[in-house]
Structure 1
Amino acid sequence: MRARILWEAARCLRSRGALVPARRSLSSGSPPLEELFARGGPLRAFLERHAKSEVQLQARGPELAVVAKLLSEKELELRETEHLLHDENEDLRKLAENEITLCQKEITQLKHQIILLLVPSEETDENDLILEVTAGVGGQEAMLFTSEIFEMYQQYAAFKRWHFEPLEYFPSEIGGLRHASASIGGAEAYKHMKFEGGVHRVQRVPKTERQGRIHTSTTTVAILPQPAEIHLVINPKDLRIDTKRASGAGGQHVNTTDSAVRIVHLPTGRRKRMRRKRSVP
């Protein structure tokens, strides 16, 4: 553990002088995340409640138990390292500050990971998906924004090594995008993309603006899971097949060839009609 190494260095350096007050306190993290994991916060209370029984965390998933343990160890490492900010040695203080910054980033990542692990999984998490983007309010600027959004998802799919296949692409006159869709396939593609759906907004000075005014533009993103292959088995006993034949004058095939067939699925009542097309000599 890196904090233990710092503590050993501190013991050697403290023999040279007394402690001095810390120059500053370091903290990071977004306020909403910190509120969730603060003392008395819902996620902090959840982790403390299950900390005494690892079996309860294991019941929610082995990965959650591992991440929760890593978070506890990393927070302990952070508290131990923060004491080094009081040391009189400037080099040690700088080393501690750098270590604290790295530790805080790791803690934030672990907290985000815990939140994702607590989100209930869906049957479609392993499915591929259909991505649709449509320009909203904002005219040509919204279309430019939509083009950037579509390219962003394409680059993200390449980063995740997913398959990305454009299905539709309707560009605008100045290089923007009115509407586009794509098929994305890969490991847990829908699980990582399902929360991207909705209206996305940007406020900026667009390329189409000459007076430097800020415009608000929107684009709509839809994430649709692709259905998995279904193995459908129909019992022939559940089908009723009715046939009809032509009558009257019409040649040698009259009264001998089924010209219309109706299939009824008895359990559901669904019907399918089919007609035989006559070939024209």
Structure 2
Amino acid sequence: MTRPGTAVDTYLDHLLVERGTAENTLTSYRRDLRRYLEHLDAAGVTDLADVTERHVGDFLVVLRTGRDGGSPLATASATRAVVAVRGLHRFALAEGLVAVDVAREVHPPSPPRRLPKALDVATVDRLLSVRGGDGDDVGGVRDRALHELLYSTGARITEAVGLDLDDVDVTARSVRLAGKGGKERIVPIGRPAIAALEAYRVRSRPALAARGRGTPAVFLNARGARLSRQSAWATLREAADRAGLDVAISPHTLRHSFATHLLDGGADLRVVQELLGHASVTTTQIYTQVTVDTLREVFAMAHPRARM
């Protein structure tokens, strides 16, 4: 017979002496496992061998709800506690204290998915309206074309800077993007983006290309080489500063805005999935929550009986 408390003490000693676990981690594990022991005691378990998977699963519920009278834990804290319990039972099996690891199939809670932040249409218009310098310098014309492309196609920044001249079809108003895993997709592009790209191709790119060695890349840096992801990020931050926007903006912000605005406009989820290059529609569904949240806010502000 192995008392749960004895197993916990032995496990913590093991972490300290043999694993060299940090003191702060040990303190947290000790607190988490003390709560676990109280949970087992309330269930009448006096032998570690009598613990079942249901006991461990119920403990996770207790952690999130505070049903035992303790404080409900946030996802990160509950995850740490489950990791501690899983470690205890894995250790008990390895030491021959029990015949089965009953915690093996009990997984820590998944962290909540952060909803992407999308700009409203007016803010995007404001961002895309700014000029670099006096609006005619080669870098400013290039940046405007890049930003228009990002919003018009929903391209990832890697896909945008990876574009070659042959990937842009002005006549068909489309671009060929090389997505994750080398998977290509053809995405339509709007007239403002086409106009910005043509202005860049005629007025700015030749001057930049003359400084380099003949790369086929669409977007070039000051040395005539392919524009890097980091430099592309910097152009967007600079544009946001010039536009006087006080929100954090990244290339992915424009991608999020692209998807959200399409759905707000009535686009089918499967179409948006294809445009974004998502392998699974499940990934695209996160944007539907953004639009629902927007609708909820509008409802709360506008409906006369929304807050009664």
Q: TM-score, normalised by structure 1?
A: 0.23
Q: TM-score, normalised by structure 2?
A: 0.22
Rg larger for: 1
Bigger share in helix: 2
Bigger share in strand: 1
